[in-house]
Every structure is written in C-alpha cells, then in structure tokens.
Amino acid sequence: MKAQLLRRHAPIHDRPLEYTDIATPEPGPGEIKVRVSACGICRTDLHVIEGDLTQGKLPIVPGHQVVGRVEARGDGAGRFESGDRVGIAWLRHTCGGCEYCTRGDENLCAASLYTGYHANGGYAEFAVVPEDFAYAIPDAFEDVEATPLLCAGIIGYRALQSSEVRPGEKLGIYGFGSSAHIVMQLARARGCDVFVATRGKSHQELAAGMGAAWVGGADETMPTAVDSSIVFAPAGELVPVALRSLRKGGTVALAGIYMSQIPAMDYEECLFHEKKLRSVEANTRNDGESLLREAADIGLKPKTTAFTLEDANDALIRLKDDAIDGSGVLIVGSR
C-alpha cells in the first residue's frame, strides 16, 4: 500500500516524509483493518516528525485523525461490521487495570499507546486499530469534516472541560488553529463570549467571522478579564499573559502536548486570588464519544483545507508556517 513513512526525525521544511510502498497491515485479535478515506494533519504530527516527541517508534507512519471503513476484522472483533464508517484517534491502548484506568482517567495510564507514534497511523491507504479504541462517526459529518474532530476536537473538548468555563461566561483562547476553531463553536453554542488572541491576519479574520467577541494579537491584553482561558499555542510565554487576563478564581488550561519553556512569573500578578493552571494530557474514550455527540447536536462544521496524501510534506509545512485556516486534511481514498 502507499503511505507516508518517517524514517528519521527532521525539520518538516527538510521534507522528511517519504511517499512509498509498505506492507498492508492485517488485523490481529480484537483489531479492525480500516480502508482510510481521509486523515487530518495535526501539530502533534509535527512534534513527532521533528523530534520534539522522541519516545515513539521509527520508522513510523504518522497520522491520528483517521476516517475510513472497516475492511476486515481480526479474531474476536465484533463491535463493527464490514463497511462501517469508523474513526481512529490518538489514544489506541491502555492497560485497563491501573488506578488511573479504573477511576476513569485512562489518559494518564503509564502503559498508554498512541496512533502515529507507537503504531502506524493514517497517512496510508490502510490502518489497523483495536476495535475498542475506534469511534463510530455520526452521520452528520462527511469524512473530511469528521477527521479534525478526532484529535483537534477531542483535545479541544477536554481542554474546554478542564477550563471549567460555565455557560454564558467569558472564555479566552490563545492561538487559533484547528483545535481552537472547533472549541469556538462549542463555546458559542454554550452561550459563552469568546475572546481570541492569535497571530496571523487570516487566523484573526477567521475568529472574527466565527463570532469572537474580541480578536487581537497573540501577546495583546484582552479588553476585559475572562472567567477561563485555553492556551492552544505551544508558546510558554503566553502562560503568564493568559493568567494576567484571568478573573479571580479562574482557570487557564494548557491544551498542547508540547510547550516551550514557561518564563518566571510574579506570584501576586499571575497566580494569586486562587487562579488555577491546568495541563491537558491526551484524552479518554469518553471524551471522544462526548465530543462527537455534542458536535453533531449543535451542527458543528470544521473549516477544512484538503491535500492529497502525496502532498503531506507540503501540507505540514503550511501548518508549521501557520498558513492553514482551520484544519488541514489529507485525502487518501474514496468511499
């Protein structure tokens, strides 16, 4: 099968993904084989490719926002039928028995494994996944629309929940890429006013067009204190900026899997008054199911830009350069 293969970590501008033929995977016990129709690109893919995350498998096929149809089932797999449309996301394995798994925090499981990092992902014509970690895709979404929901959406949903923002409150967003433009729709549907700080004129225009109450530069002070904020940009220098714009008792959630160094902060200015700072790590399957339900219920529509599988390097270069509004998606196959 055709796939984009990463053999070594390198800057994406060096075009390290190799479009090549590799063996078509077959499902093992409890697994399903999926014929991929589309796969979203993600900033986490960049972190994997460029070596910010170094504990994964090499060579590796990246991609963890995968939509396709069940082609074959391994022994004991019976959750899905042949031809069913499914999604494959970042989380693909947990132990199921540790204290974190048993209390509902499987995202913290020490034995967790991830698609496109520990096992080949969706930058390919076929992918396999344990059926227990696959998602049924609601009919409300076309294949391309559904792909960004499987990471940008899920992580954004978890970050939104972690921010503790309540319906009708003010939410700050720092960075306005794939995940943030999905969270904007979720928050607006909950009656929140959303204040967006982001670099890049096109990102600012997208946020304004989606109904932001205010849009400014990445390091600008918001015009009013907000109840909660989410920092999507992997820029540690934005953390004290977000905390300074937060109301007493508010929460800042950090949504990225990777972030540059956070500078020293003044305690009274940034953290006093019971302000809270929380990180977000991966997701649980419940996050995924809840996000897909809510997104379908509110008619959420991701903004997508399509690329061919052959053009994965070009697509990721554009992502690195902040030259994609909304979500980039690789078109792999047809229905």
Residue range 154-279, CATH number:
3.40.50.720
Where do the structural domains in the chain lie, given as residue ranges? Answer: 2-150+282-331, 154-279
Question: Is there a contact between 169 and 187 (Cβ–Cβ < 8 Å)?
Answer: no
Residue range 2-150+282-331, CATH number:
3.90.180.10
> So what's the pLDDT on residue 54?
80
DSSP 285-335: HHHHHHHHHHHHHHT----EEEEEGGGHHHHHHHHHTT--SSEEEEE----
> So what's the pLDDT on residue 284?
96
Question: Is there a contact between 309 and 331 (Cβ–Cβ < 8 Å)?
Answer: yes
3-class state of residue 244 by DSSP = helix
3-class state of residue 201 by DSSP = helix
What's the distance, CA 136 to chain centroid? 17
Residues of the chain predicted below pLDDT 70: 334-335
H or E stretch covering 222: none
> So what's the pLDDT on residue 256?
86
Amino acid at 236: G
3-class state of residue 140 by DSSP = coil
> So what's the pLDDT on residue 121?
98
Q: Quickly list H helices, the chain.
A: 43-50, 99-102, 143-146, 152-162, 178-189, 201-209, 238-244, 267-270, 285-298, 312-320
> So what's the pLDDT on residue 334?
62
> So what's the pLDDT on residue 335?
52
Question: Is there a contact between 130 and 28 (Cβ–Cβ < 8 Å)?
Answer: no
> So what's the pLDDT on residue 220?
83
Amino acid at 29: P
Question: Is there a contact between 120 and 311 (Cβ–Cβ < 8 Å)?
Answer: no
> So what's the pLDDT on residue 53?
87
